[in-house]
Every structure is written in C-alpha cells, then in structure tokens.
C-alpha cells in the first residue's frame, strides 16, 4: 500500500526541513517545495531517501498562481494529499513607521495570499481526514515594532486557518496553527552574540528553540493523537509569550 502523502511548502530549510524529515520518519511520502535554492531542498530529500522513505523537491513560487497550479498537477498529489503544511514565508526587518504599502503587499502576497493559493489548488485533492498545519508566529498575535508586515501576514493566516477549520470540521478534516517563538533559523542568523544572549534570557526556558521543537508538534498534529484538536493555535516558545 502506498504511504500517505505530506506536502510541505518551504520544506527545504529551517522549520520546513525539520518537519519534512520528521514526517518522513513518521511514514509519509514527502513532497516539499522550495523557491530560490534547490541545494538545501535536495539535501533534505537525500536524507529522507537514505532513511528509507520517499521524498521529492519541487520548485514553486507560492505567490504565483501559475506555479502553484503546476504543484497541483504533480503526479504524487493525484491520489490525494493527507497532510498539508503551509510553512513558506519571508521576513524583512523593518520598523513599523517605515513601512510602505509596497512592502506590506509583497509580504502579504507571499505569506498569506501564497498560503491561500496553495490551499485553493490542493483543496480538491485533500483526503477525507486530511490535516492542515499552518506555521504562524507569536508575532501574529502580539505584533512587532520591526516586523509589522510580517506580523500582519501571520495574524491573517491565524484568522483564516481558524475560519477554515470551522468549515472543515463537519467533514472530518482538521486545521491547526503552530505559533513559534524565537527559533534558530535564518531569521536569527544575523544576531550578534550579545543579541543572542538577550534572546535567550528573555525566554523562561533560557534557550532559543530549534526547528525540531516545531517538527515534534507538527508530527503530533498530523497524527491521530490529535484527532479532537482543530482550530487551535499552539504556542511553541519556551514560555516567552503566554496567551
């Protein structure tokens, strides 16, 4: 019997890569997307295949409806998508009072509208008990003085995902949001040692989160252990932000 399929946008780096590898270990075939660089995505696929699972990396600009349509035509999705992880996104550090409408539109196009486009294209292919996992952010709830456009895009994702969850619930499909805190990904790569220590001290658990911390929660949400969980926003932030 063919293994269930997980589609993961932005699955070649950081949180997406960790989720791709974790769901592969859980027994899924993994179709991951990337946008700009194929090398990290192909490396993730190599690890997945070496561990005995199936993986494929597919280049998609999630903000482009034409490219998203090609994703929906991929042979792997024809028999149904069991898990859809909307993880892709962009973040540009910019003060809220310096934000221009073009900046906001670009971020919303990629982070929010791109997620909507992927869902819209794959919706007819979601299986009877499909699970959707949306990677949001604590900034989508509490805001950010240096990332207002990012916060707005993630806040929109949260509200949309919870709305969709209510629509899907009678059908047996589930939609949940993971809201990470400070996670050790490319977003934090430019931190100085001092800034890194400040971040760690601001977290009650006294450490920055890792992509595998997020992947573990994604694994739970993709499994039957979370069969009665939908429309939830699960905070994974070491206690930094309580809501």
Q: Which residues are known to be catalytic? A: 150
Answer yes or no: are the C-beta atoms of 40 and 34 closer than 8 Å.
Answer: yes
Cα 95 from chain centroid (whole Å): 24
- 126-135 β-sheet, strand order: 55-59, 29-34, 5-8, 81-86, 126-135, 174-180, 233-236
3-state secondary structure at position 95: coil
């Amino acid at each position: 019997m063919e293994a269930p399929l997980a589609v993961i946008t932005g699955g070649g780096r950081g949180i997406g890569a960790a989720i791709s590898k974790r769901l592969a270990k859980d027994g899924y075939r993994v179709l991951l997307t990337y946008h700009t660089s194929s090398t990290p995505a192909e490396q993730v696929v190599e690890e997945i295949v070496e561990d005995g699972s199936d993986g494929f990396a597919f280049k998609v600009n999630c903000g482009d409806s034409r490219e998203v349509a090609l994703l929906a035509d991929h042979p792997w999705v024809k028999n149904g998508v069991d898990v859809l992880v909307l993880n892709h996104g962009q973040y540009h550090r910019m003060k809220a009072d310096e934000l221009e409408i073009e900046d906001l539109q670009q971020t919303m196009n990629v982070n929010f509208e791109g997620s909507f486009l992927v869902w819209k294209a794959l919706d007819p292919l979601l299986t009877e008990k499909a699970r959707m996992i949306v990677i949001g952010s604590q900034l989508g709830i509490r805001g950010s003085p240096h990332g207002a456009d990012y916060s707005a895009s993630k806040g929109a994702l949260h509200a949309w995902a919870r709305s969709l969850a209510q629509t899907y619930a009678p059908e047996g499909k589930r939609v949940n949001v993971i809201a990470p805190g400070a996670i050790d990904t490319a977003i934090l790569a430019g931190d100085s040692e001092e800034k890194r220590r400040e971040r760690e001290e601001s977290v009650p658990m006294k450490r920055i989160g890792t992509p595998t911390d997020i992947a573990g929660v994604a694994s739970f949400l993709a499994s039957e252990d979370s069969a009665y969980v939908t429309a939830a926003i699960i905070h994974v932030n070491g206690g930094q932000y309580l809501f």
